[in-house]
């Protein structure tokens, strides 16, 4: 069994942006282990297959999670690889980033998913790791981003200094252990985009640890397009409703998990 595969989903992505993330991946893995799923309306990104010899598949756009599932199922990745990396096209990272995270997973068999620290390209912290959201977290973050509730949601006042269990991982860069995935599908395809990463992390957390490692970092563009695009904002609202319908608007697991996160973080940084 090979060590790690990578899926990258493109949607009308700038060619140079797509090239950069592939170049980052090629520092640590072979081109044979990179699987590109193209949701774009046209075929101009197919040139990536010729440039890098990566695996490339053009499909109709059925959403972010569905596209990653297409790579996972079409190429039978869970049977061929021990780990799988989900990475956004607007991500870049240094050599050995993937290898260091894989080394951590190899040494900690109880860990089912891991995410590194996510930074903006100016090296500021992106706050991509979060506590599990409640409806109030989302409302306050949207309307009053400097409120206590919004700050709590993004854990803005507490950045861990060492690996810690933290379920609210961001799907922009997440490595999963394939043995914790059921039915040969990573994501719940009811989520077209947004909240599929929280949903995945919660499902993994039921059977193994979900870890945030602040000692390893990547860079992520994070243009927050949903704040400017009414269509994407609609997808955000729709996914939020689906998420809370699935996991509950009043959620005991969320309350207990978030309480433990803050207790662990305070102990972590002391």
**Span 89-137, pLDDT tens digits:** 999 999 999 999 999 999 999 999 999 999 999 999 999 999 999 999 9
Domains of the chain: 2-269 (3.90.550.10)
Which phi and psi (to 5°) does residue 232 adopt?
-70, -35
Q: Would the pTM of this model clear 0.85, i.e. be above it?
A: yes
Q: Quick check: 266 pLDDT over 90?
A: no
Mean pLDDT of the chain: 93
- The C-alpha torsion from 38 through 39 and 40 to 41, rounded to 10°, is 130
- pLDDT at site 222: 73
**Span 23-55, pLDDT tens digits:** 999 999 999 999 999 999 999 999 999 999 999
DSSP for residue 168: B
CA distances from 124 to 13, 69, 77 (A): 24, 32, 34
CA distances from 209 to 132, 155, 172, 195 (A): 15, 19, 19, 19
Q: How confident is the model at residue 270 (pLDDT cuts 50, 70, 90)?
A: low
As a residue count, the chain comes to 270
Q: Quick check: 226 pLDDT over 60?
A: no
């Amino acid at each position: 069994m090979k060590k790690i595969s990578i899926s990258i989903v493109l949607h009308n992505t700038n060619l140079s942006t797509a090239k950069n993330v592939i170049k980052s991946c090629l520092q640590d893995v072979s081109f044979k282990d990179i699987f590109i799923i193209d949701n774009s309306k046209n075929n101009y990104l197919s040139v990536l297959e010729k440039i890098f010899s990566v695996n490339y598949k053009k499909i109709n756009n059925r959403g972010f999670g569905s596209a990653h599932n297409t790579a996972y199922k079409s190429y039978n990745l869970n049977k061929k690889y021990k780990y799988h990396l989900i990475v956004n096209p607007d991500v870049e990272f240094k050599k050995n980033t993937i290898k260091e995270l894989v080394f951590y997973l190899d040494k900690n068999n109880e860990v089912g998913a891991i995410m590194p620290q996510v930074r903006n390209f100016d090296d500021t912290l992106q706050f991509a790791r979060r506590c599990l959201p409640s409806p109030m977290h989302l409302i306050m973050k949207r309307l009053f981003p400097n409120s206590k509730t919004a700050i709590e949601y993004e854990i803005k006042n507490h950045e861990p200094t060492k690996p810690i269990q933290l379920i609210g991982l961001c799907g922009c860069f997440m490595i999963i252990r394939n043995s914790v995935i059921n039915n040969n599908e990573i994501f719940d395809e009811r989520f077209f985009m947004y909240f599929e990463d929280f949903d995945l992390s919660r499902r993994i957390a039921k059977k193994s640890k979900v870890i945030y490692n602040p000692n390893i970092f990547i860079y992520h563009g994070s243009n927050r397009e949903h704040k400017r695009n009414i269509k994407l904002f609609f997808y955000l609202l729709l996914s939020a409703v689906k998420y809370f319908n699935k996991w509950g608007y009043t959620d005991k697991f969320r309350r207990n998990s978030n309480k433990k996160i803050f207790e662990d973080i305070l102990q972590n940084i002391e």
